[in-house]
Amino acid sequence: MVGSWLVKRLLREGARVTVFVLDHDPQSELLRSKDIDHCQVVSGDLRDRGDVSRAIFASECDYIFHLGAQTIVSTALFDPVYTFESNIMGTWNLFDVVRTSGKPLKGILVASSDKAYGTAKALPYDESTSLHGEGPYDMSKSCTDLIARSYFLTYGVPTVIARCGNIYGGGDLNWSRIVPGTIRDLIKGKTPVIRSNGKYLRDYVYVEDAVDAYLTMASKVQLTEVNGEAFNFSREEPLSVLNIYRAICESTLGHYKEPIIQDTAHHEIVDQHLSSTKAREVLGWRSSYDLQTGLRETVNWYREFISS
């Protein structure tokens, strides 16, 4: 989902884009928008070093945006090995191909996550918070960050790491997530289901804010104060699951609809939210989309998608 919006923005700004694609999903925004028709396409798997090498040599790229990962917590619980292979092996494959290729590269942007921090006693997390992922997905993101940092410190591979809160927006077809799943159910007249107890606290970042963060970081990766660093991105307005659910109801229906609360979520971090002070002070980044605007754009995308 994030990759499709990043491609859209890069094309709009005149970049020559190569996309590395595992599966061709005709419902994905990258294909539905036909943006993929304006890109060079390399099919492959991050777990296959040969595929990664082929993609990098075919693209003759200046920048790499490393967004590829297995991103679903429940899938990671069901199949931790695949998650570790995709997220951890995929990351070292990418960095080691760059290290050994001898190709000049301006920077690698690693799209990490607030989940890399795991559970911490002090909130909000800032970039000095230790990486303590516990569950398979969280641990895979901790390892991703540490691998990227190691290749920067040891081999001088230019890199910068983005840790965003929960990214939402049109094009997310992982219906188990609170934003797309709730919007789809409300549009179809169904009663939405909340898997947790509704009290978990999270940051929510609109996808175009995340894309802006990635591009801002990439444009400044050569700066000493940016290269090799990690940055948090958040509106710094943490919301409980029930609060984000209520906001989605207002944006979709104009009124609240009582959900089914299952309280069956396991192995998930209960409360987490981020400080973006470093991103403001070093990068000059600020969120441009408040929750109401971001949800309005998101609901409009899903209305069009579901009716098509």
* Positions marked active-site: 137
For residue 301, what are the contacts with CB-CB under 8 A and spacing of at least 6?
Answer: 169, 170, 171
DSSP letters of the chain? -HHHHHHHHHHHTT---EEEES---TTSHHHHT-GGGGSEEEE--TT-HHHHHHHHHHHT-SEEEE--S---HHHHHH-HHHHHIIIIIHHHHHHHHHHHH----SEEEEE--GGGGBS-SSSSB-TTS--B--SHHHHHHHHHHHHHHHHHHHH---EEEEEESEEE-TT---TTSHHHHHHHHHHTTPPPEESS-S--EE-EEEHHHHHHHHHHHHHTTTSTTTTT-EEEE--S--EEHHHHHHHHHHHHTSS--PPEE-----S--SB--B--HHIIIII-------HHHHHHHHHHHHHHHHH-
* Whole-angstrom distance, CA of residue 238 vs CA of residue 93: 35
